[in-house]
Amino acid sequence: MAAVCPECNGTGWKIVEREEISGAERCDCVLVERAQRLESEAQIPPLYANASFDNFLLTRENPIAYRNMQEVLLTVRNFAREYPHGRHGGLLLMGEPGTGKTHLAVAALRAIMAKGFEGLYFDFQNLLDRIRSSFSNDESRVGDKEAYRDAMEAEVLLLDDLGAHRMSDWVEDTVTSIITYRCNNRKSLIATTNLIDAEAGYATVQRAEPGKPVDYRTTLSERIGPRARSRLFEMCRVVRMPLVEDYRLRKQGAQ
């Protein structure tokens, strides 16, 4: 057991004097304890156990990417700082694999939890698998029914790798209902995706070399459906990650 807090003698309240009037205020130790509990309930994967804004590094190898990444970091930091009073109810991080989307999304979730709000991490694919299996009427799967409800009700939901799943009507309906519910009920959403979208400035057609067929890239809308995509853009501050060398490969190379 932790030692009794010297500030409040373990009561959770401390007397503070402000302009000669004394009153009771919540002690910081209560917030710290709550933040620790929130952290342990958020289901953040072990790989991101320490991911924070402070250990998100900006590499200087490419000055333009450096500046853009600095801007991305600032935008995401501000989103977390302003929560729950920010202009946008959500944050959508778009970009290539290994550019730090999940790291930044988790850092934002953490910063929000540090303020006492409840956060929940879900890998998109894993969430769908769990929801699907909960419909199998298998009693042993009863716990999975909660996955759907949790994704709807969590104060702040992190949906990681949106669209990394084979598309089906079922997937489209499920993701649409989650995003629509959250949007309508002003519940925050942080999402990441490797998929592209023309509105975010991505070219959806790769310029083909002469004689080669045109290469169409998979868009977010194709994977999650136009309705979910449109709600997402409506509620989210959309952030496009600059193209940097895949951080995973970089780390391997350094070993």
Ligand X SMILES: Nc1ncnc2c1ncn2[C@@H]1O[C@H](COP(=O)(O)OP(=O)(O)O)[C@@H](O)[C@H]1O
Binding site for Mg ion (CB under 5 A): 101-102
The answer to whether residue 56 forms part of the interface with ligand X (CB under 6 A) is yes
Place of tokens 């991490």: 121
* Residue number, 101 or 229, with CB nearest to Mg ion: 101
For the CB of residue 69, give the shortest distance to ligand X in the complex, in Å.
Answer: 7
* Residue number, 45 or 201, with CB nearest to ligand X: 45
Nearest alpha carbon to residue 35 among 158, 136, 135, 118? 118
For residues 69-108, one letter each, b for 16 or more C-beta atoms within 10 angstroms of the residue's C-beta and e for the rest, the string is: beebbebbbebbeebeeeebbbbbbbbeebbbbbbbbbbb
The answer to whether residue 98 forms part of the interface with ligand X (CB under 6 A) is yes
The amino acid sitting at 166 is: R
Strand 188-193 with 90-94, pairing: parallel
Instruction: Count CB neighbours of 130 within 10 A.
Output: 20
Count of residues near Zn ion by CB under 5 A: 5
Interface region with ligand X, contact rule CB under 6 A, candidates 24-32, 95-103, 123-131, 182-190: 95-103
Q: Which of 10, 23, 97, 116 binds ligand X (CB under 6 A)?
A: 97
The answer to whether residue 234 forms part of the interface with Zn ion (CB under 5 A) is no
How far apart CA 156 and CA 79 sit, in angstroms, is: 12
The answer to whether residue 5 forms part of the interface with Zn ion (CB under 5 A) is yes
Q: Which of 26, 67, 149, 248 binds ligand X (CB under 6 A)?
A: 248
Q: Which of 72, 103, 108, 175 binds ligand X (CB under 6 A)?
A: 103
For the CB of residue 14, give the shortest distance to Zn ion in the complex, in Å.
Answer: 6
User: Which two tokens mark 36?
Assistant: 């620790």
Place of tokens 């490969």: 249
How far apart CA 130 and CA 153 sit, in angstroms, is: 16
The answer to whether residue 47 forms part of the interface with ligand X (CB under 6 A) is yes
Q: Name which of Mg ion, Zn ion, ligand X, none residue 8 binds, using a CB cut-off of 5 to 8 Å depending on partner kind.
A: Zn ion
List of long-range contacts for 5-8, beta carbons under 8 Å, 24+ apart: 5/29
Distance from CA of residue 174 to its chain's centroid? 18
Binding positions for Zn ion, 19-48, rule CB under 5 A: 27, 29
Q: Binding pattern to ligand X, positions 129-158, x when CB under 6 A?
A: ------------------------------
Residues that bind ligand X (CB under 6 A): 47, 51, 55-57, 95, 97-103, 192, 247-248
Interface residues toward Zn ion, by CB under 5 A: 5, 7-8, 27, 29
